[in-house]
Structure formats: structure tokens, C-alpha cells
Amino acid sequence: LNTMDDHTLKISDLCLKKYEELSKNGKPEVGKQWTALAGVVKQGTIIYPDGGTYEVVAIGSGTTCLGESQMRPDGLILHDSHAEVIARRSFIRYLYHEIKSTWNSTSSTIFNKLIDGKCCLKPGISFHFYTSNTPCGDATIFPVTVNQTTPVNQTHPVNGTTTVNQTTPVNQTHPVNQTQPANQTTPVNQTTPVNQTHPVNQTHPVNQTHFVNQMKINQNKHKLPIPDTVAAKKLCPDIQLGANNSHYDVNRTGAKCLAGEPQDLHVIGSNFHCVGCLRTKPGRGEATASMSCSDKILRWNITGWQGGLVSTLVSTPVYMRSIVVGGMADIQALRRAFYGRMDLNSLDFLHHTRYHLHLPIIQRTDSKFKFYKSSLDRNELKPNGSALSWCKVPCNGLEVAAKSGFRLGTVKKHEGKPRSSTFISRWNLFRMFKEVMEVIPDCELKSDFQALEVKSYRNCKLLAKDYFNTWSDVKDKVLGNWATHSGELDLFT
């Protein structure tokens, strides 16, 4: 692919096509329901029938999240069924399959063996993430102009043209044919390793150390700029504001700020929300303890998308090379939410670990998901309660979870039994980890695992010492208000 826009279109269209190929079971009713879609696309060196080097390896759809009282300590249900989370869990299942295949002497398209019992990604392998909607939480808070449906910082496709009737604010300064800053043109297939931190001023023009400071007004980094045209442009050059400040507002989210974080003022206009805050997922039912998808993606951009248990099996964290977002998306808000709100100086301690703040390329796409909910559909469409999961494995790649978090179709008397659990539940992913332990060669990890008196989920997670020490340091030093669930939820075997 020759341009970033070719890449962006390829990533989104492959995920949309794969979703269309899956059976209708668990999908929304056309014209009555909506859902969100997310997926992971592998890029490698193999040429596929379509002539490209891209392949979808994981898909997830869903919109629901269980309340705190509905969480179970047996690991059998899905607590968080937002599309981004389902796709990531499907991706973890795919990684387990590839790791097991590597050590079973069968073929793996992505991993090579190492002598220490770990796997490493083959040269040229990278992964890209797609989501049809802006992830809930901080990424959804961005400047808009009243009666417009286009975010102020929404970029246009390379071959797009701006007309008088488009919703782009009059004083928006990015060129019509420019989809990213001039110095953010790094090709997707460049030779930069997937886990390499990009120089802040090379891949992304945002000065990370001062990014949050650019958002400050009156020493408060959690408020969007006051809609004064001159002051806002001067203090916040990364946010283009409408010429008439009486038409300036902010896109709303139902995600609640965590205790200890600055709280939303809920005043009319640009300061309705604070920005950069940690939030729980939105919803009208019982309050949830699950962090917003924006916050989870921020975490994954530090600790990797592979999770704690898989981190013990791979030599380096698995990061996303790019993130492609559909629907109503604002590039600057996405960058802020996914990495920009972190002060690099506060993450100096990561230099002594194998982790870092990864800066994926952020792009938006105009490819529209069939079941996307726009602001115009808000009162007409109902959320689909099911969550669909698929990944590229030989058997049972596709399954559907009900709103309860159990596998769709589970009868009441079977709830709480392993047969009711989806393949991407914590219980089943933990089972896959234990299966991998049986096939890896003798090594320090295998010895530590065998030495455990109780092979509980919690005890096995603690084998990933560097992963959890790093995450603990990040929470203590940077993300102090991060919500953590009860340790009793990790005691299952």
C-alpha cells in the first residue's frame, strides 16, 4: 500500500468484510438495533489471494457491561462486553493458539521459538486495531460546533473534497487533502520494529512532554479551552475552534469520572466535561467497576495488548502499530486519550523494563459499519445485547455471548458451569495458558509454574513479575485513581 489512506481503508474494510461473512446469530436486527465493531488485523510478509499482506485475526462486537454486583469469582462470564474489549480478548485467544502451535512443532505464522521457552514475533509481523466507534471515555470528549455532526479536528480522506455545505468550521486550518501532519507520514510497512517507541517528534508531531500543558487553561489541565477564539488558538494550537464561539460546544459522554479525579462540571458549553480523566464505562443501569475503553487502550499502549499471562510466554510486549477509528472521531482527542495525557517524564522508570509508552499511528476512516449508531439514530435504535467474538483458530472460532456474560443459549440450570462459559472468558483463557505450560520446554517459567501449590488464576498471574510490577508502578506513580476489582475474583482454578 502506497499511502496511509490506503492502509486505513484496507484495515477497516477487511474488518467490515469479515463481520459480514460471519453468521447472523447474535447480530443486531437491521433498522431496530445497533452495535459496535472492533478487530485486529495482522500485517506480515505472506501475500494473500487479494494481493495484500493484511489478514483479520480477531473480531469483536458488543455494547454491554455488567454491574459490580453481577461480577462472578469463578471467571466464567464476560464482565465487559464492549467491542474493543471483546476484540482484544479474541486476539489473546489467537495468540495462545499461535504460541501452542509454535511449541507443538506445527506451523505458526507469527512466532519463532527462543531457547528460554518464550516466543518472539517473526520479522515483518505487526498488528493494527480497528474500531467502528470512538472508544468510550476520554476519546469521546472533543470540540464540536452546535448543530454540526463533524468533530472540529476530524481529518478528511486524501481524495476527499471540501464543499461549501460541509460541516468543517470556516477557520479550520488543515489543508483539504491532508489527513495527517506533514511530518507524520511514516509508511505502515516501514522496518521500525512493532515494539519500538517512536521518537515523539518523528512519528507524531505532538510534543508529549508538553501535550497536557497545551490543554491547560488557568492551570487546570482537565478543562477544554474556553471558547475564546484568540485565546484558544494561542493556548491550544492542537484544537481548531469554530470562528463563532457561541456555536462552540463539546461532544458528551456518559462515562463517569472516578473518585479522586477532577469531576465534570456539567455546565453548558466547552467545560461540560473535563478531559484526560480516568472514567468508568457509561450506562444507565447499575454502576460498573469496569474502566472505559479509552483508559484500557491507554493501559494496553503501555503494558501491551497481550495481557499478563501471555506476557510470560513472549519476549516482548505486543503493541498495535496503528489504531483506525470509524464514525464520529476526533484525531486530537484520540491521541490525547490513547497516550497524550501521559507525561513522559513521569514514566522514566519504564526505561529499566521491557515496556514503554507506545505511540500507535492514529487514523480515522469513513468506511461505515452497517450497524453504526449515529446521533440521528439515538432515539430510534436500541443496543444489541449480544457480543460476538471471532478469531483465526482452527475450531470454534466464532461464538456469541448473551447480555448475562454467559454463552448465548445457556439455560438457567447450566449457568455457572464451564459449558456456559465463552472461549474468551477468563476461565477459558486461563485454561489455554495451562495447556501451553504442558508443551513448552523446560525453563524457569515452567519450573515456577510447577512449583505452585495452588495453580489459581491469581498465583499464575503473579508469575508475570515484570508485567505486574510495571503496571503497579504505573498506577502508583501516574494513574493513582485506577479502579481495581477485588482479589477474590482471581482465586478460581
DSSP state letters, 341-401: TS-GGGGGGGGGSS------EEEE--PPPTT---GGGTTT-EE---EEEEES-SS--EEEE
Euclidean distance between CA atoms 110 and 127, whole angstroms = 10
Res. 377 pLDDT band, cuts 50 70 90? low
Instruction: Provide the pLDDT for residue 380.
Output: 84
- Lowest mean pLDDT: which of 150-164, 202-216, 269-283, 333-347? 202-216
Instruction: Provide the pLDDT for residue 1.
Output: 57
- Lowest mean pLDDT: which of 146-150, 215-219, 271-275? 215-219
Q: For residue 296, is pLDDT > 50? A: yes
Res. 147 pLDDT band, cuts 50 70 90? low
More confident residue, 147 or 341: 341
**Averaged pLDDT of the chain:** 81
Q: For residue 103, is pLDDT > 70? A: yes
Burial class (CB in 10 A: 0-12, 13-18, 19+), 259: exposed
Res. 153 pLDDT band, cuts 50 70 90? low
Instruction: Provide the pLDDT for residue 369.
Output: 95
Q: For residue 224, is pLDDT > 70? A: no
Reported for 396-399, long-range contacts at CB under 8 A and 24+ positions apart, including other chains, are 396/423, 398/22, 398/23, 399/423, 399/424
pLDDT per residue as tens digits for the range 268-287: 888 899 999 999 999 777 88
Q: For residue 206, is pLDDT > 50? A: no
Q: For residue 20, is pLDDT > 90? A: yes
Q: For residue 410, is pLDDT > 60? A: yes
Average of pLDDT values for 178-199? 34
Average of pLDDT values for 218-237? 31
Res. 210 pLDDT band, cuts 50 70 90? very low
Instruction: Provide the pLDDT for residue 247.
Output: 54
CA atoms within 13 A on the CB side of 243: 7
Instruction: Provide the pLDDT for residue 236.
Output: 31
Q: Where are the alpha helices (DSSP H) in 164-214?
A: 208-214
Average of pLDDT values for 286-314? 96
Instruction: Provide the pLDDT for residue 46.
Output: 80
Euclidean distance between CA atoms 94 and 90, whole angstroms = 6
Q: For residue 233, is pLDDT > 50? A: no
Q: For residue 190, is pLDDT > 60? A: no
Instruction: Provide the pLDDT for residue 479.
Output: 95
**The cell 519476549 sits on which residue?**
315
Q: For residue 362, is pLDDT > 50? A: yes
- Lowest mean pLDDT: which of 178-192, 275-289, 462-476? 178-192
Euclidean distance between CA atoms 92 and 127, whole angstroms = 12
Predicted structure pTM score: 0.82
Res. 3 pLDDT band, cuts 50 70 90? low
Euclidean distance between CA atoms 314 and 99, whole angstroms = 9
Euclidean distance between CA atoms 445 and 106, whole angstroms = 22
Instruction: Provide the pLDDT for residue 175.
Output: 30
Q: For residue 17, is pLDDT > 60? A: yes
Instruction: Provide the pLDDT for residue 161.
Output: 30
Cα 221 → chain centroid: 23
- Lowest mean pLDDT: which of 197-201, 320-324, 343-347? 197-201
Instruction: Provide the pLDDT for residue 454.
Output: 95
Whole-number percent of the chain with pLDDT over 90: 64
Torsion of the alpha carbons at 419, 420, 422 and 428, rounded to the nearest 10: -50
Instruction: Provide the pLDDT for residue 243.
Output: 29
Bridge partner residues of 217 (DSSP):
220
More confident residue, 308 or 180: 308
Q: For residue 196, is pLDDT > 60? A: no
Cα dihedral across residues 317, 322, 328, 331: positive or negative: positive
Q: For residue 186, is pLDDT > 70? A: no
Query: What's 304's DSSP letter?
Result: -
Res. 39 pLDDT band, cuts 50 70 90? very high
Instruction: Provide the pLDDT for residue 486.
Output: 81
Rounded to 10 deg, the angle between the 293-303 and 83-103 helix axes is 30
Q: Which residues contact 22 (CB under 8 A, 6 or more apart)?
A: 59, 388, 390, 398
318 grid coordinates: 505486543
- Lowest mean pLDDT: which of 46-50, 63-67, 124-128, 286-290? 46-50
Instruction: Provide the pLDDT for residue 47.
Output: 80
Whole-number percent of the chain with pLDDT over 70: 78
Instruction: Provide the pLDDT for residue 119.
Output: 96
- Lowest mean pLDDT: which of 160-169, 184-193, 403-412, 433-442? 160-169
